[in-house]
Structure 1
Amino acid sequence: MSDGLDQLGYRQQATRTAFHAYTGIAKMIGRCKTTLWADTYGEDPNPYELELQAVDSCQPDDILICAAGGSNRSGIWGELLSTAARNSGCVGVIAHGSVRDIEKTREMKFPVFATGKNPYDSLNRQKVIEVDVVVEIDGVKFRPGDLVLADEDGIVVVPQEVETQAIEAALKKVSAENITRDAIKNGMKATEAYLKYGVL
């Protein structure tokens, strides 16, 4: 998909930051449901308000995006939020920050990609400050409703306006790569295969 977006001139759609699939499920695909987080340092009378609103308003096939700037101030996502999000139809979480309750969430088989882990509660440490807005992680814009794919290689966001073209380009690339791989397996040199099929 990243290669397909490259071909369309969308060359900043994949993260370079290392995300870890903490619950052991290393693939997910869905639609961006975005949250913007900030570190906090004082007593907050409504600490979980927007966080809960975001979780409860998830739609089927949403992936909840937690744009927390890579902060390790607390574990912003855990078992209870995973349970509530799944009940709303959410299919996974991408946290540019830390998570907790990993064993329990793993038992749920709920996909969680994050950049760290931390046992601290987010209370008076971090909070959601905006929901359903464009957020940025590692130079990549995540917009509400955009298609997002995550696996062991990284995270790719497909803007809605080129989604159909990007999928078509990706499928063509996969087909060409399969042909090229088979040719190389059957003894063709890599240079010859590239010259013949134009794919690497």
Structure 2
Amino acid sequence: MAEPITLGMMRESLYAAVVADALDSVGLRNQSPRVPLRPLTVEKTLVGRCRTTLWADMYHPDPHPYALELQALDACQPDDVMICAAGGSMHSALWGELLSTAARNGGCVGAIVDGATRDIAKIREIDFPVYARGTSVYDSLHRQRVIDLDVTVEIGGVKFAPGDLVFADIDGIVCVPKEVEDEVISRAWAKVHTENAIRDSIRGGMKATTAFETYGVL
């Protein structure tokens, strides 16, 4: 029996682009949000499982400040990635230093925010990866709130379901649905190791055309 490919192994060897290629190969060609979500704190490959929250803008005093937001944080498990689906709203910073600290304490390995964040310098100090559309100085209190959690959400035309595998790095973000995870990761694993062989061959003088004819990958 082949050794299972663990999340630790994925973090060491896989990256967003090769996982996107593997998804392409099984017919899933739209698994990366085509919106400007960039790493604002730590530029390293983020791999984990989706812990989802759905956010809405608000323009009145919140009768229960942070209620579902805190519930989501308290439910964090090791290897979770907090997914904050806010429709790209820059109404306030819905993520910051304290949320990063609380999430990390629960084992969360990063956050993907379809909106704004703040406290970038402080989050960098704790080495916590946050991907977001940009920054805002404004607190989310009475401006934005979580209206649902642990549900399927959408960011940039891509659905993120609780427990789905997510990869993020400087190239972009890729979501792998649970039902195809084993096949996609196996294909990505094989491709990245084939690419290593191709790279060595090209560095050794092999022409690109010959490399493609030999390995079928480029």
Same fold, judged at TM 0.5 (above): yes
Q: TM-score, normalization: structure 1?
A: 0.96
- In structure 1, the partner of 2:90 is 72
CA distance in 2, matches of 1:62, 1:81: 14
3-state SS in 1 of match to 2:114: strand
CA contact (8 A) 2:112 2:131 kept: yes
How many residues are paired up? Answer: 200
- In structure 1, the partner of 2:199 is 181
Does residue 195 (structure 1) correspond to residue 205 (structure 2)? The answer is: no
Structure 1 stretch 127-136 or stretch 183-192: which is displaced more? 183-192
User: Which string of whole-angstrom CA distances, capped at 9 and with x for unpartnered residues, describes residues 83-135 of structure 1?
Assistant: 11111111111101100111111111111111110010011111111100000
CA distance in 2, matches of 1:20, 1:26: 12
Does residue 59 (structure 1) correspond to residue 77 (structure 2)? The answer is: yes
Gaps of at least 5 residues in structure 2 are: 1-18
Gaps of at least 5 residues in structure 1 are: none
CA contact (8 A) 2:41 2:124 kept: yes
RMSD: 1.1
CA distance in 2, matches of 1:196, 1:18: 36
Mapping of residues 3-152 of structure 1, within 5 Å: 3-152=21-170
User: Which string of whole-angstrom CA distances, capped at 9 and with x for unpartnered residues, describes residues 58-99 of structure 1?
Assistant: 111100000011111100001111111111111111101100
Identity, in percent, stands at 61
Q: TM-score, normalization: structure 2?
A: 0.88
CA distance in 2, matches of 1:144, 1:82: 19
